[in-house]
Amino acid sequence: MFSRSAVHPGDHLRRLADSVDTDPRLAVSTAKCMLTARRQSYASGAKVPALVDAAQ
């Protein structure tokens, strides 16, 4: 489990934005990490755009 204090939203959002086109797997895992840290749920089969929108 991730600690809320360990999540730096600015860093993660920047990584998410930078990787969404070039490394979709990184974008997905970054978005899931942010959502998990915020205790927000997401569908197991959620697509990149839905995860990115939810994480931002």
**pLDDT tens, 7-52?**
566 776 777 777 777 887 877 888 888 889 889 999 888 887 888 7
User: What confidence score (pLDDT) does residue 6 get?
Assistant: 56
User: What confidence score (pLDDT) does residue 33 get?
Assistant: 84
Domain assignments of the chain as residue spans, ordered by start: 8-55
Report the C-alpha dihedral over residues 32, 34, 40, 43, rounded to 10 degrees: -10
User: What confidence score (pLDDT) does residue 29 get?
Assistant: 81
Q: Rounded to two decimals, what is the model's pTM?
A: 0.63
